[in-house]
A and B are shown apart, each in its own frame.
Chain A
Amino acid sequence: MNVTGQSILVIGMSHVNAICGSLDGDEDQDIQVTNLNKSPHIFDRRRNEIDCSGFGDVQPNYIFLSLHGNFHNVISLIENPVPFSVGDTEQGHVPGDDAIDRVFIPEDMMRAFVEAELQATTFIHFPKLVAHFAAAKIFHLCAPPPSGDQAHIRNFPGVFKDQLHLRVSPLPLRLKLYRIQCELFRQACDQHGISFVDVPDAALSDSGALKRDYWNDDPTHGNLQYGRLVIDQMKAIAEVS
């Protein structure tokens, strides 16, 4: 699919690697990707500041943001030294009784904690980006969900190998934190006139985890196939917008 005359700029951090690696030169010539982590003239990581002048005169029709998105993994990929469960509408808390003595954290409280972090690290950038790209329609891509298999994470722990002795968290807990993060992104996007884009349905297992086909060989990102799915999703959105 070609979006003739309609340019797309993807701005993000590590999750854009899967997109960048899947671009087809001819087919996707209207899509540009800026990885902020590799763009020190735009993004000062140490001070967490974006300087939009670094984008130059680029004025795309569509912006797809993919900022951060791994905070849920910081909290829940590996069991906390003080294991916890989180409040849940249906089950009361997740994970439920799993023979581990867990401190219960009400859902609203966990949400407040995650929101404070996301506000400081991520949402703080929204007003500046919205103002800079005022002529564009702006979207924000949802981060990929956790992979459903603890064994996969144990097999590809990557930089988390030193934490593995604490064990990989059960999937329901990882999904809970992920969903809280997604809801907060959606709310923040709504507040700033940004359209939030859900993960492509094709990437989701029945439980809402990332399907095996899209697991990367690290615990927190989608692979190139996942990147391809997202590219097609962005182009479809641009076509109908």
Chain B
Amino acid sequence: MKPVSPYSGLPDRQFWRKEPGIVEPALFDPVHNVPFRIGPDDRIVTAGSCFAQHVARYLNNSGYHHLVTEQAHPLMGEPIARTFNYGTFSARYGNLYTARQLRQLLLRAHGAFEPVEKSWPKGGGGRVVDPFRPQIQPHGFVSEAELLVDREQHFRAIREAIRTMDIFVFTLGLTEGWADRRDGAVYPLAPGVAGGVYTPELVAFKNFDLAETVEDMQFSLDYIRQINPNVRIILTVSPVPLNATFEDRHVFQSTTLSKAVLRLAADEMTKRFSHCLYFPSYEVITAPHVRGAYFGPDCREVVEEGVSHVMGLFFKHFTTGGQKTIAPKVQDNPDVAVHLDAMGRAIDMLCDEEAITNE
């Protein structure tokens, strides 16, 4: 029988009014045709903008293997480790907002790019922050020398993560950034915001366009695949609007342009790379079906209910076992715990003794 129109017989998902989410927002599900699944043993590396932190958090709590190669020493315990941003992502790179940041991080970690700027001053007393992750420690580092030691450990962790991961989840966040005029190094925050001094002669505003973003993503994914040819890639776009724009226009206009560029770049990557797909977290949070309910009172922060909807779909479509709820894995080490206990007991025993003898 001849179709009435080219749309005849197409699946319901391709028609707006057939979407169950119109009636029941919680049923909104724009995900389909997922070409691979994530098993409990697959090592997942997370990176990207702040929304990626939610992905990492859910993975940590759900029994899947969020690969954390930069772990706090097991002495430290969970609350302190969290305060110092261990486990927020697979390594302590902080938020990677732009594709250029991802590209430069890969190069820096592998010794192929050494930016001129080593550190930014933070307050007084010689304290500094890392210009490329200025908020990774609550009060920065005690000195540039300490920062450089930490960075060495950080880069080792990144190399290990890239080399051993099975799944790479990257959330594109922004197109706007600040670049060093001397070597093009891109910072996540403008100097002066969380450390450093804003010097217009040294840094310039940069709004990466579609061609640049695609080129940076192409470079980054090529680079990763050269090291780890079998890694499967999941790209997302952060639904969180820009906090501020340096462009002379309304911040919401900059938001829509930025997200459009990122969405197109992600789409382009799925065409250029095998086993690379787009997960529509941006769409779930911003869709009219959810009637804006997934944004907080400031119209910007994504509320937990929205994150839960997104991650529910993530587990439903990408995993073999669905979502589980288990306690976050504490990075303990039985040897360390036993040692600490033994040392504490020894001190207690010693402190009970009165033998002060060898005068």
A interface residues (Cβ-Cβ under 8 A, vs B): 13-14, 17-18, 21, 37, 70, 73-75, 77-78, 80-82, 84-85, 87-93, 103-109, 112-113, 116, 158-160, 162-163, 166, 215-218, 220-221, 223-225, 227
Residues of A contacting B319 in the complex (Cβ-Cβ under 8 angstroms) = none
A216 touches B358 (CB 8 A): yes
Residues of B contacting A84 in the complex (Cβ-Cβ under 8 angstroms) = 73, 75
State whether A89 and B137 are in contact (beta carbons under 8 Å apart), knowing that A13-B351, A104-B153, A109-B84 are contacts in the complex. Answer: no
Residue of A88, A104, A218, A224 near B142 (CB, 8 A) is A88
State whether A80 and B148 are in contact (beta carbons under 8 Å apart), knowing that A73-B347, A104-B153, A223-B358 are contacts in the complex. Answer: no
Residues of B contacting A103 in the complex (Cβ-Cβ under 8 angstroms) = 73, 153
A163 touches B343 (CB 8 A): yes
Interface residues of B in 329-345 (CB under 8 A from A): 333, 335-336, 338-340, 342-344
Closest to B351 in A: A14
Residues of A contacting B142 in the complex (Cβ-Cβ under 8 angstroms) = 87-89, 106-108
- B80 interface residue per 8 A CB criterion: yes
A91 touches B73 (CB 8 A): no
Give B73 Cβ to nearest chain A Cβ, in Å: 5
A225 touches B359 (CB 8 A): yes
Give A202 Cβ to nearest chain B Cβ, in Å: 15
B75 touches A87 (CB 8 A): no
Residues of B contacting A21 in the complex (Cβ-Cβ under 8 angstroms) = 356
B333 touches A82 (CB 8 A): yes
Residue of B83, B343, B358 near A217 (CB, 8 A) is B358
B146 touches A88 (CB 8 A): yes
- B145 interface residue per 8 A CB criterion: yes
Q: How large is the interface on B (under 10, 10 to 19, 20 to 34, 35 or more residues)?
A: 35 or more
State whether A74 and B76 are in contact (beta carbons under 8 Å apart), knowing that A87-B142, A223-B356 are contacts in the complex. Answer: no
- B10 interface residue per 8 A CB criterion: no
Chain A, interface SS category: mixed
Give the CA-CA distance A171 to B142 in the complex, in Å.
Answer: 21
The 9 closest A-B CB pairs, nearest first, are A14-B351, A92-B145, A81-B335, A87-B146, A92-B149, A159-B346, A224-B359, A89-B143, A74-B343
Residue of B75, B137, B349 near A80 (CB, 8 A) is B75
Give the CA-CA distance A140 to B283 in the complex, in Å.
Answer: 61
Q: Which of B74, B143, B340, B359 has the most CB of A within 10 A?
A: B359
State whether A113 and B76 are in contact (beta carbons under 8 Å apart), knowing that A21-B356, A89-B126 are contacts in the complex. Answer: yes
B137 touches A166 (CB 8 A): no
Residue of A13, A17, A85, A166 near B356 (CB, 8 A) is A17
Residues of B contacting A163 in the complex (Cβ-Cβ under 8 angstroms) = 339, 342-343, 346
Closest to B140 in A: A108
Q: Which of A90, A103, A215 has the most CB of B within 10 A?
A: A103
Give the CA-CA distance A17 to B357 in the complex, in Å.
Answer: 11
Give the CA-CA distance A162 to B149 in the complex, in Å.
Answer: 33
B358 touches A215 (CB 8 A): yes
State whether A105 and B76 are in contact (beta carbons under 8 Å apart), knowing that A17-B356, A37-B352, A224-B356 are contacts in the complex. Answer: yes
